DNA sequence: GTGCTTTCGCTACGAGTCGTAGCGTAATGG
DNA sequence: CCATTACGCTACGACTCGTAGCGAAAGCAC
């Protein structure tokens, strides 16, 4: 994740257990304290490691929280529910469930906010979270094309733009609903979202 | 905004010029320092007031930044471009222009992040920013109904849900595009968004 | 004008956090 | 057994926080 010596063969190896303990402790600290009151000293105590160990592995609070939050989104999968609409609803509901957890809510937004002034952090977020989950959109489109629900893609660039738009619309709507409007992304709401999105995409494709 | 004595007629009045200077200094500090490195001492120096004056008027960093950012969104207007699609594109482009400014980017997201652990702050954001701009969606719908582009609303509750959904989709998509995906919400992208949104809403209304 | 009230600028303070340096110890590989 | 790297621990100066206390300034009522 942030290996400084990719091929350091000698010396005492870094404890892998410490990594997982630190990331878990970071998430728990986000729940208990929130972003602004989270201190690396506190995380170190929770994880049962020395504070200096944290600074040896991560450059600072931003990088640590990105890694801690990124793990949360790895549990997303694309269920096969038989139709494109049902598949999308399934993914969106999973996404909403993750965003309902406090460690994701405060952590994700805070890191995005910091990233506005930190190009390296932006890149880290894009690589660790955004691009990693865009796979779901691509897989969903491919499956829908196999089913005949969507026409096969002709123009690669045009297709990439569509994937980006869908991703921003889905993720953005859910995030805004849960974090800004502060209302639950429940089944009814998700159903309305997917209906508008799908009929809009179908109509717009013509 | 945060009047403690709504009818205090006696004594020295608070300087209104200080308010505007402080909020402007806060936005500039967001540009120069970002959220996490912004200190109230620094804002006080920039605004040319004493640090204690800041603490007399705002409870803390969160509340101050909410007020400073909320002012940014007051410049949004609903242009009359002749059609619903064109009107929406106009508003979205304005919204994107605001989000392109660094003081809005880092400030807004950071405050949202903090709000996940602070009910009072959530309420303040909802009142100062979200509800205040939802007027644009309502006005746009009313105008479209007068034009005959949308059917007149029959069910009030159903209509409110539609407004909420539209607002989350528009604001969320633009925010996600600019802040998370980190790509410009330019005319081409906004055009694609409104096309999907409008045809989706039209199809979904039936 | 004379008071009364509230805000203002300034200074100082204890408490808490930051990130780093130094040192002895632990765990690997050659 | 030896070189090398990671680890836990302690201590440190620098910085920020939010508050308290003070005299001066700016209004209103009379």
Which residue is the nearest neighbor of D16, CA to C1'?
B39
Q: How far is the CA of A204 from the C1' of C21 (A)?
A: 62
Tokens for A186, please give them.
């429940």
CA distance A1 to A124: 10
User: Looking at the complex, does the CB of residue B125 fall below 8 Å from at least one CB of chain A?
Assistant: yes
Terminal C-alpha separation, chain A: 43
CB < 7 A to strand C: residues 32-51, chain B: 48-51
Nucleotide closest to B50 measured between CA and C1': C9
Contact B113 A113 (CB under 8 A): yes
Chain-centroid distance, C-alpha B121: 14
Q: Mean pLDDT, chain A, as a whole number? A: 91
- Residue A8, pLDDT above cutoff 70: no
Nearest CA in chain B to A196: B200
Give the CA distances from residue B62 to residues A63, A111, B1, B114, in Å, rounded to whole numbers and listed in that order. Answer: 23, 16, 14, 7
SS3 label, residue A49: coil
Taking only the tens place, the pLDDT of each residue in A83-113 is: 999 999 999 999 999 999 999 998 999 999 9
Tokens for B112, please give them.
């949202």
Taking only the tens place, the pLDDT of each residue in A117-156 is: 888 999 999 888 888 888 998 999 999 999 998 888 889 9
User: Looking at the complex, does the CB of residue B193 fall below 8 Å from at least one CB of chain A?
Assistant: yes
Terminal C-alpha separation, chain B: 43
User: Looking at the complex, does the CB of residue A196 fall below 8 Å from at least one CB of chain B?
Assistant: yes
Taking only the tens place, the pLDDT of each residue in A185-203 is: 999 999 999 999 999 988 8
User: Looking at the complex, does the CB of residue B36 fall below 8 Å from at least one CB of chain A?
Assistant: yes
Tokens for B27, please give them.
């936005």
Asked whether B163 and B141 are in contact (CB, 8 A), the reply is yes
Sketch out chain A's domains with CATH numbers. Answer: 16-57 (1.10.10.60), 69-205 (1.10.357.10)
Nucleotide closest to A36 measured between CA and C1': C17
- Residue B142, pLDDT above cutoff 80: yes
Nearest CA in chain A to B188: A161
Nucleotide closest to A49 measured between CA and C1': D8
Q: How far is the CA of A60 from the C1' of C19 (A)?
A: 9
Q: Which of B85, B71, B105 is nearest to B177 (CA)?
A: B105
CA distance A175 to B178: 14
Taking only the tens place, the pLDDT of each residue in B90-115 is: 999 999 999 999 999 989 999 999 99
Contact A114 B36 (CB under 8 A): yes
pLDDT at B20 (0 to 100)? 96
CA distance B203 to A118: 42
Which residue is the nearest neighbor of C8, CA to C1'?
B53
pLDDT at B5 (0 to 100)? 47
Average pLDDT rounded to a whole number, residues B177-196: 94
């Amino acid at each position: 994740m942030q290996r400084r010596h990719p091929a350091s063969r000698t010396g005492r190896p870094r404890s892998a257990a410490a990594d997982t303990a630190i990331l878990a402790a970071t998430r728990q600290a986000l729940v208990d304290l929130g972003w602004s009151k989270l201190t690396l000293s506190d995380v170190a105590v929770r994880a049962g490691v020395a504070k200096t160990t944290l600074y040896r592995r991560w450059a600072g609070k931003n990088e640590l929280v990105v890694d801690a939050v990124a793990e949360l989104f790895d549990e997303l999968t694309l269920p096969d529910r038989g139709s494109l609409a049902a598949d999308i609803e399934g993914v969106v509901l999973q996404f909403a469930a993750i965003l309902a957890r406090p460690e994701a809510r405060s952590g994700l937004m805070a890191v995005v906010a910091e990233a506005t002034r930190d190009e390296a952090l932006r890149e880290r977020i894009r690589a660790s979270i955004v691009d990693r989950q865009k796979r779901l959109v691509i897989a969903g489109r491919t499956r829908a094309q196999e089913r005949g629900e969507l026409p096969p893609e002709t123009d690669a660039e045009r297709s990439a733009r569509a994937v980006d738009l869908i991703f921003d619309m889905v993720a953005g709507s859910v995030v805004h609903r849960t974090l800004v409007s502060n209302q639950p992304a429940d089944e009814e709401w998700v159903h309305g979202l997917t209906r508008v999105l799908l009929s809009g995409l179908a109509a717009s494709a013509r």
